[in-house]
């Protein structure tokens, strides 16, 4: 059986220098994530959760250390290759969904597919299926600004998943939603992990969502440790 981790951070360091201090967010930190695992990253504000998520998602680069995806070093990729890599392998969901206003739900969900160069017809079908999957089949032609907050976040999840990425990264995906909508999104993430075998790493303050994940991690003295 192939037990290559989906993600490996080896000896990763990342610090920021402010006017008053140097912040060692990660210091020679290690992390290994198996395919299909679900992980919550917890911890106090400013501890470095988003920084860690951004490094895993190649949106930020460590100062030193290695990042491997299925055993392959990816930090050496140029920007173009990295963008294509992200498009094919990683879906992102943020607290604020960054949907394109003025466009319909299905147009928003199609976007990653159009960037990938797939045929419009194929990607439209995938996008409509994904919107069905997040129970927005009756809303595919709605402009996103006419949808509720919870519906908009489900459109964002459909967009993150339309390329069937191996890895879904979510930063406070329900931070902006009421309890009922939050619970619906939590269940959806768990179901998608079960159905698609998708690996999920989520930054959250929400204990319900953290409790649904396989592992809970936090940062301590620059290391990634069990929460
Ligand atoms: N590009 C940057 N330049 C300088 N400092 C930064 C930068 N990015 C993050 N930081 C600092 O690093 C620390 C960790 O930030 P990060 O956003 O990762 O924390 P967090 O745990 O996600 O916080 P929150 O829960 O409030 O979102 C913070 O003190 C932040 O101000």
Domain ranges of the chain: 36-60+78-226
- Cα separation, 101 vs 114, in Å, equals 18
Name the nearest CA neighbour of 84 among 58, 110, 121. Answer: 58
According to CATH, the superfamily of the domain at 36-60+78-226 is P-loop containing nucleotide triphosphate hydrolases (3.40.50.300)
Q: Is the per-residue pLDDT at 58 higher than 90?
A: yes
Mean pLDDT of all residues belonging to the chain = 93
Q: Measured in angstroms, how far is the CA atom of residue 222 from the centroid of ligand 1?
A: 13
Q: Measured in angstroms, how far is the CA atom of residue 188 from the centroid of ligand 1?
A: 28
From 25, 62, 63, 210, give the residue whose CB has the most ligand 1 atoms within 8 Å, as the site to mutate.
Answer: 25
Q: Measured in angstroms, how far is the CA atom of residue 105 from the centroid of ligand 1?
A: 31
Convert the pLDDT of each residue in 115-128 to its tens digit.
888 899 999 999 99
Q: Is the per-residue pLDDT at 2 higher than 80?
A: no
Instruction: Give the number of the atom of ligand 1 that is nearest the alpha carbon of residue 172.
Output: 27
Q: Measured in angstroms, how far is the CA atom of residue 49 from the centroid of ligand 1?
A: 8
Reduced to 3 states, what is the DSSP secondary structure of residue 23?
strand
Q: Measured in angstroms, how far is the CA atom of residue 196 from the centroid of ligand 1?
A: 32
Portion of the chain with pLDDT greater than 70, in percent: 100
User: What are the pocket residues of ligand 1 if the criterion is a CB atom closer than 6 Å to any ligand atom?
Assistant: 16, 23, 25, 43, 45-51
Confidence of residue 22 (pLDDT cuts 50, 70, 90): confident
Convert the pLDDT of each residue in 162-173 to its tens digit.
998 999 999 998
Residues contacting 43, CB < 8 A, separation 6+: 49, 218, 219, 227
For residue 170, the model assigns a pLDDT of 95
Question: Max alpha carbon distance in the chain (Å)?
Answer: 54
For residue 1, the model assigns a pLDDT of 63
Instruction: Give the number of the atom of ligand 1 that is nearest the alpha carbon of residue 47.
Output: 21
Name the nearest CA neighbour of 94 among 198, 208, 172, 207. Answer: 172
Region 174-178: mean pLDDT is: 85
Convert the pLDDT of each residue in 193-220 to its tens digit.
998 899 999 999 999 999 999 999 999 9
The interface pTM score, or ipTM, of the predicted complex is 0.96
């Amino acid at each position: 059986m192939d037990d290559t981790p989906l993600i490996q951070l080896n000896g990763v360091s990342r610090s920021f220098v402010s006017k008053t201090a140097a912040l060692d967010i990660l210091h020679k930190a290690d992390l290994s994530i198996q395919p299909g695992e679900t992980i919550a990253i917890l911890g106090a504000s400013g501890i470095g959760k988003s920084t860690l998520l951004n490094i895993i998602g190649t949106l930020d680069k460590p100062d030193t250390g290695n990042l491997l995806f299925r055993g392959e070093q990816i930090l050496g990729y140029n920007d173009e290759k990295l963008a294509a890599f992200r498009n094919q392998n990683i879906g992102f969901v943020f607290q604020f969904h960054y949907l394109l206003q003025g466009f319909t739900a299905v147009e928003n969900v199609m976007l990653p597919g159009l960037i990938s160069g797939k045929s419009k017809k194929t990607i439209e079908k995938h996008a409509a299926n994904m919107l069905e999957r997040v129970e927005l089949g009756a809303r595919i032609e709605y402009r996103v600004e006419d949808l509720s907050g919870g519906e908009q976040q489900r459109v964002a999840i459909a967009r993150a998943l339309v390329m069937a990425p191996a890895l879904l990264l979510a930063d406070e995906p329900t931070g902006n939603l009421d309890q009922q909508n939050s619970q619906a999104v939590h269940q959806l993430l768990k179901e998608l992990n079960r159905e698609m075998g998708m690996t999920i790493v989520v930054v959250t303050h929400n204990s319900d969502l953290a409790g649904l994940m396989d592992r809970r991690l936090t940062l301590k003295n620059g290391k990634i440790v069990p929460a």
